[in-house]
Structure 1
């Protein structure tokens, strides 16, 4: 319990101290705001600057005296101007004596502004307007005098040789500026910058920046810009340049098509070279040391008037500049026969044919798929929407009329019997019993409808009485038997014999 009370007492004491400190700072801020000055004044060398000061609210306060104090960035405070209502203004010894004065003249305690003429860079610093008051004591306001000097900006390219170590390729300088300038670089070259500052004349600053990189031939001629930003400039000052990197010639031979055959005329090899500085000499030679008689050389071109076995060699082109030498070579192979040359449009024709074939294949595939889809819809492919009816069952023998006038003997051959097949046979639609599971037609019964018997011949079911020509052990008296019709069978009676 005692520990808890002690902790609470400590917290209360801490809060009280913070409150007191905040109150003191608030009072000091409120009192300091009564001395009104400009926070910052800028000027160029040789100009006259006005440093204004005023006491905004003197109610209940007696203003006794005003003192202007100069505090340089390096050095001690110095009184430069003092005013007391009972005395004349006083200007103690200081760097600005003879150039500082109260304005207006005579001054007043409520507005004791001063002016400094012919200011220089060394006049930059802090100027304090301090009031002696009663009973508040001293109150003050601070003005910073910033001296500006527009720098002289310049940029140069440093010509270097291609190498493997970082070197300075460009410099940029902002000379005698105040305050110090800011320098940046804009380029696609891969490098970095180093910037240094040093004091200039009359308290100014000179800033120098160098751009370093590993110089290569491919970087030659790339754009690089130095951008200088300064307070005295409306916009940044940009200096555009191009990198200057010297390198030995880079050489390549063009014109050989691998089709030099005996008798070919006027074939040309061209020696192309780039370098910095520009190459000045081009020399053609062969690996054997002797140049064929049919070869003519002019500048960077080698012309073979007529191809023969003598030009079956290696040609070398050497190019020189101040940095070094570059060379390239090509080996010419002389053929006995000319290679077939492809026409300029062969490739395009082949490509067009292939494209047409592919297009036709795509169109044909699309048409086939469309027709198949349409046929499927028309034919109803897929799961059947209804069950097809079974074949109709007929007893053709029962509907035929024997035309013979004599009774048919039991042993009369079937070939001698004549039947009239012109009369329509009555049939029975068995659809009504197609789906009955107990109608007497099983899988074995259905096989009769798909037998290989000739059209029009009966194919009786399992429970039907076969016709006389299909029965065995026939009895004549059986001919007159009535039909034995079962459920689901045809109700047509057997044939009647006359």
Structure 2
């Protein structure tokens, strides 16, 4: 028959359970004094330390309460005491006039500390003297914070082959310690150091280093500071300053320095850190000519000539050294300004066009005038003289001119040429620029012409209307001017080639000053203008 034996607990487990019960009881008792576990404060500000005794049963008698300060590296010391009978007491002189009780009560002995200092950081314990349980307490940790004083600056260096510090960044007197980082595109590195202050603050410094070159001058590196008291990181850009000797270049030469050009300019571009303070211009062939003017880094040639067909040298200096550059200018022959050439060409072309227009207009007018004269119409303002003009001299003597009608033999009309079948009129000119027209008998005439008395010779129009001419002869007067120009040619002696036969030169009427009387003897329809300015009759025979 089986028996039940009571279970036995190991002795070690029994003691562990008892210790846990004891700690729980102490924790329950410790909860009677309620305080803040941790507080943060800044220098020059104030902080409230809360304390309250909790007695749910009301069995504990409170005798006195004290605030005890325990610095991180010091001993405990009372800074404030409250007794219901004896009142308040502030035994520590470092907190005197800076600590007050917020309530005159043992149940709530909270205090306020003003004008905080970094050295006020530490543990603050609110401790009660009670009966019958003894002392009851609660502790608050006060953390003093300090915003760092951030700064960054450039370190001016000279370009060289060694790595040097070119920028610094610092977060001074902060608590807790700040962290510093760099942002840059350069091939550099940084180092950081930390220094503690007597009041618990920390100063952090960082340096940025690189091998400086002239190309690094003016570039930026960024310092970034992170710290607990800052709402956002502090960022600052540092522009590097790398000093180096000048570098020189000459600008402005366009390879178009021609003789006579004005205002040719050269610029001496000198880069350096610090900026070059001295810039000089010289010529390889000697001193600068009078036509050259120098104003700092600018050289101006007022008028280009062979004197500036040379090499110009520009030199720049600063405290780290000097540098020079040269350029050879070539003077060429003067070039025609394309704009002026275009203007001249336009003017010439315009003048030629205007001249051609005028010539064409004159040719048209002359052609029309010549055609009118060939048809027997005098030009405006002209009169036809039948004799030599008085004061102009030139007396040609008496000349006779025969006018006849053209009719065929035996009265037939063949229109092939003139004959002497009709009456012949003789017009004789005298020295007094007057003439008479008389009728002369003709053995073969069959028609009658009305003759005009002395001083009134018949016109060709009268002869045509008389009916004595045949139709062929009349059509001869209406030949086109173009046909006449092809048929009539003059030889160098004044003869006329008509119908392929050379005709002797005829006497012609000259212009005189006889007025209307000379116009009366002009036969309008019978006259024909010649190239030498004279006119002759188409049918008259001069004797």
Give the TM-score of the pair, scaled to structure 2. Answer: 0.47
Change (3 A) 1:18 1:209: farther
1:73 — aligned with what?
Answer: 72
CA contact (8 A) 2:260 2:334 kept: no
1:249 Cα deviation from its structure 2 partner:
1.4
CA contact (8 A) 1:197 1:207 kept: yes
Is 1:212 aligned to residue 209 of structure 2?
yes
Is 1:290 aligned to residue 289 of structure 2?
no
2:52 — aligned with what?
Answer: 54
Q: What is the CA–CA distance in structure 2 between the aligned matches of 1:49 and 1:153, rounded to whole Å?
A: 26
Change (3 A) 1:112 1:85: same
Q: What is the CA–CA distance in structure 1 between the aligned matches of 2:216 and 2:124, rounded to whole Å?
A: 53
Question: Aligned to 1:275, which of 247, 272, 286?
Answer: 272
CA contact (8 A) 1:314 1:331 kept: yes
Q: What is the CA–CA distance in structure 2 between the aligned matches of 1:216 and 1:63, rounded to whole Å?
A: 80
Alignment of 1:31-430 (within 5 A): 32-56=30-54, 58-59=56-57, 62=60, 66-82=65-81, 91-93=90-92, 95-97=94-96, 99-105=98-104, 107-108=105-106, 110-131=107-128, 140-149=137-146, 152-198=149-195, 204-228=201-225, 235-256=232-253, 268-285=265-282, 288=284, 290=286, 296=292, 298-299=294-295, 300-302=297-299, 306=304, 311=309, 315-330=312-327
1:52 Cα deviation from its structure 2 partner:
0.6
Change (3 A) 1:255 1:20: farther
Q: What is the CA–CA distance in structure 2 between the aligned matches of 1:52 and 1:16, rounded to whole Å?
A: 40
Q: What is the CA–CA distance in structure 2 between the aligned matches of 1:47 and 1:171, rounded to whole Å?
A: 31
Q: What is the CA–CA distance in structure 2 between the aligned matches of 1:225 and 1:145, rounded to whole Å?
A: 35
1:127 Cα deviation from its structure 2 partner:
0.8
Secondary structure of the residue aligned to 1:75 is: coil
Q: After superposition, what is the alpha-carbon deviation per residue over 1:348-368, rounded to whole angstroms, capped at 9, x for unaligned?
A: xxxxxxxxxxxxxxxxxxxxx
Change (3 A) 1:90 1:301: closer
CA contact (8 A) 1:78 1:94 kept: no
Q: What is the CA–CA distance in structure 1 between the aligned matches of 2:226 and 2:237, rounded to whole Å?
A: 15
Secondary structure of the residue aligned to 1:122 is: helix
Secondary structure of the residue aligned to 1:129 is: strand
Q: What is the CA–CA distance in structure 2 between the aligned matches of 1:217 and 1:269, rounded to whole Å?
A: 25
1:154 Cα deviation from its structure 2 partner:
4.3
1:318 Cα deviation from its structure 2 partner:
1.7
Q: What is the CA–CA distance in structure 2 between the aligned matches of 1:236 and 1:293, rounded to whole Å?
A: 63
Secondary structure of the residue aligned to 2:95 is: coil
1:124 Cα deviation from its structure 2 partner:
1.8
CA contact (8 A) 2:259 2:331 kept: no
List alignment gaps of at least 5 residues for structure 1. 1-11, 339-498
Secondary structure of the residue aligned to 2:215 is: helix
CA contact (8 A) 2:305 2:331 kept: yes
Q: Which of structures 1 and 2 has the bigger CA Rg?
A: 2
1:73 Cα deviation from its structure 2 partner:
1.5
Change (3 A) 1:88 1:246: same
Q: After superposition, what is the alpha-carbon deviation per residue over 1:373-416, rounded to whole angstroms, capped at 9, x for unaligned?
A: xxxxxxxxxxxxxxxxxxxxxxxxxxxxxxxxxxxxxxxxxxxx
CA contact (8 A) 1:262 1:309 kept: no
1:293 Cα deviation from its structure 2 partner:
5.5
The Cα RMSD (Å) is 4.8
CA contact (8 A) 1:249 1:274 kept: yes
1:247 Cα deviation from its structure 2 partner:
2.0
CA contact (8 A) 2:304 2:331 kept: no
Q: What is the CA–CA distance in structure 1 between the aligned matches of 2:25 and 2:291, rounded to whole Å?
A: 102
List alignment gaps of at least 5 residues for structure 2. 1-9, 336-543
